[in-house]
Amino acid sequence: MRGYCCECRKDVDCEIVKGDVIYPHRPDLYDLDFVRCPICGNYTGIHDGEYPTLPTEHIRSCRRRAHRALDRIWKDRAKKSKYYGFMSNHFGKDFHWGMVRCSEEADEALELTIDFMNSLTEEEKE
C-alpha cells in the first residue's frame, strides 16, 4: 500500500502491521491494522478506500488534542457538519484531519478547532 509520509515528505511503500507492533501496551488494539513508514516509522490506522497520510508525532498530537476538544459535539451530526464546514471554508478545500501533511497546517487547524469550540455556547457544546 502506498501512502504519504509527513516526516519523509514523500510517497512510500507502507508496511502493514498489527496493533501489537504500534501499541504493545494496548491489547485491545492488537487485532487492528496500521500502516507504517519503513523509513522513519511514522504510522496511522487504515481506513478503507483512503490514501493514508502518515503523520509526524507533532501532527498526531495536534489531532489528539483537536479530537479531545471535539468530543463534546462529536455525536451531533449537525454540529459536526458545522465544524467541518467551518474548517473547509477556512482552508478552501474539504478538510479532514487525516489529510493534514505539515506541522504548520496542524497548528493552524488545532487553533481553529479550539476557536470553533470556544465560539459555541455551553448549550451547543452539550
pLDDT at 10: 97
Q: Between 121 and 31, name the one with better pLDDT.
A: 31
Tell me the HSE value of 56 on the side-chain side, using a 13 A CA sphere: 14
Mean pLDDT on 73-101: 94
Amino acid residing at 15:
E
Give this prediction's pTM.
Answer: 0.88
Residue 80: pLDDT over 70 = yes
Chain mean pLDDT for the chain: 94
Spell out the alpha helix ranges (H) of the chain. 19-22, 57-70, 77-91, 103-119, 122-125
The strands making up 33-36's β-sheet, listed across from edge to edge, are: 15-18, 33-36, 43-45
What tens digit of pLDDT does each residue of 21-54 get? 999 999 999 999 999 999 999 999 988 778 899 9
pLDDT-derived band at 103, boundaries 50, 70, 90: very high
Cβ-based burial of 6 (10 A; exposed 0-12, middle 13-18, buried ≥19): buried
